[in-house]
Amino acid sequence: MRKQVAEGDDTEATISLMGDKLSLVSEDEIAFLSYADTGRSVITKGDPIGDPAAGERLIWPLRDVSYREGKRVAFYSVLPKFLQTYLDLGMSALKIGDVARMPLTGFTLDGSGEKGIRHAKNRAKRDGFIFEIVPADQIDTIWPQLKAISDAWLRQTHGLEKSFSIGAFTDGYMRNIDTAVLHNPDGEIVAFANLFKGGQLSQLSIDFMRYDPTAPSFVMNALFAEMMLWEDAEGYESFSRCAAPFSCMRKRPHASIWTLLGNFVREYDADFYHFEGLRAFQKKFDFTWTRNYLACPSGLAAPRSLYEINLLVSGGIRGLAK
């Protein structure tokens, strides 16, 4: 699994290393599907990972085994790549959001649209803040500082660690991922983000960013700016930001039940995602957007699947038991 994650161009595949999901692996071990089994449903996180042909051949068996066990099956946060296969299964495809990507060739912070980010970077440099990439195998050297920041950030946001489609700050997970950090003039870390890397420098993305609530207000934007410039210097082709869920959905008088449910989750369930903040942050740069889907049976399976996905993200299988 680690080989497929490291060599593939889907940076979100790193989520499969969280340790909170099961995997269906091809016989030749060149592809796998990552999924959660809630007892009522089998729900994948994303498309097959690894060799495309081998991965596509895993989709049908997962559906068949799930049906034999009397469970619903849903494919969550999938891209157009395998969409026809999901439709051939008899699934319906519901657009749930977008994945943002931005080419990094010739990336610059010049221009009026990047004024705020540029100002934060310049302010941090002037005040003596230092940017650093800490490799995954050196995470122990900064772990106490990262944990203190993460704990303080969670207290300040009244949040809990997520799961399933969002990374959590855990020892086992963070050891798989390089971390970008910003040090204050005293050498203390005040903000960090974990980095998802695509194979062959295809793309790079961020799982989550956290900061010390007592740090200056510019540290997050400064960290983001430094990361973008570092990625460009390293030769990465593009920057990808994970899906903005339900960003496409609008209230309409005759909206379908699952669209209405999507709007409900988006607006009222703060534990699922900080939707508007994510989308607004992405709008600061010239991203292109790729559609992101939930593939599941027609009818009430869609809202039921979204409900279970919400619980998985909010607390994993333990959330479903509450």
Neighbours of 209 (CB within 10 A): 17
CATH of the domain at 44: 3.40.630
In angstroms, the CA 315 to CA 199 distance is 30
* Same-domain check for residues 235 and 250: no
| pLDDT of amino acid 189 | 98
* Same-domain check for residues 154 and 231: yes
* Same-domain check for residues 261 and 183: no
Phi, psi of 131 (to 5 degrees): -95, 145
Closest CA to 224 of 241, 237, 236, 212: 241
- Per-residue confidence of the chain (322 residues) as pLDDT tens digits? 777 877 777 777 888 888 889 999 999 999 999 999 999 999 999 999 999 999 999 999 999 999 999 999 999 999 999 999 999 999 999 988 878 788 777 777 776 656 778 899 999 999 999 999 999 999 999 999 999 999 999 998 877 888 888 888 998 899 888 999 999 999 999 999 998 887 777 788 888 889 999 999 999 989 988 988 898 888 888 887 655 454 444 444 444 444 444 444 444 343 333 434 444 455 556 677 788 899 999 888 888 888 898 888 886 544 444 4
- Helix, strand, coil percentages (3-state) for the chain, rounded to 5, are 45, 25, 30
Neighbours of 244 (CB within 10 A): 25
* Same-domain check for residues 146 and 225: yes
Domain end among 239, 273, 305: 239
Range of the domain at 179: 104-239
Residue 230 in tokens: 């570092």
| pLDDT of amino acid 269 | 41
In angstroms, the CA 175 to CA 135 distance is 9
* Same-domain check for residues 149 and 81: no
CA gyration radius, the chain: 20
* Same-domain check for residues 235 and 108: yes
109 to each of 113, 228, 232, 263, 298, how far by Cα in Å?
A: 9, 9, 12, 34, 45
* Same-domain check for residues 189 and 138: yes
| pLDDT of amino acid 291 | 87
| pLDDT of amino acid 56 | 96
Query: What separation, in Å, do the N-terminal and C-terminal C-alpha atoms of the chain show?
Result: 31
Contact status, residue 191 vs residue 181, Cβ threshold 8 Å: yes
* Same-domain check for residues 172 and 47: no
Q: Is 29 left (phi over 0), alpha (psi -120 to 50) or beta?
A: left
Decide: helix, strand or coil at residue 190: strand
* Same-domain check for residues 235 and 117: yes
Domain end among 218, 239, 260: 239
Q: For the purposes of burial, counting CB atoms within 10 Å of the CB of 7, is it exposed (0-12), middle (13-18) or buried (19 or more)?
A: middle
| pLDDT of amino acid 237 | 84
* Same-domain check for residues 119 and 235: yes
* Same-domain check for residues 263 and 138: no
Helices (H), 235-274: 257-268
Number of domains into which the chain is organized: 2
Helices (H), 158-208: 171-174
| pLDDT of amino acid 68 | 94
CATH of the domain at 219: 3.40.630.30
Sheet strands (E) in 265-318: 288-296
Domain end among 198, 222, 239: 239
Contact status, residue 45 vs residue 165, Cβ threshold 8 Å: yes
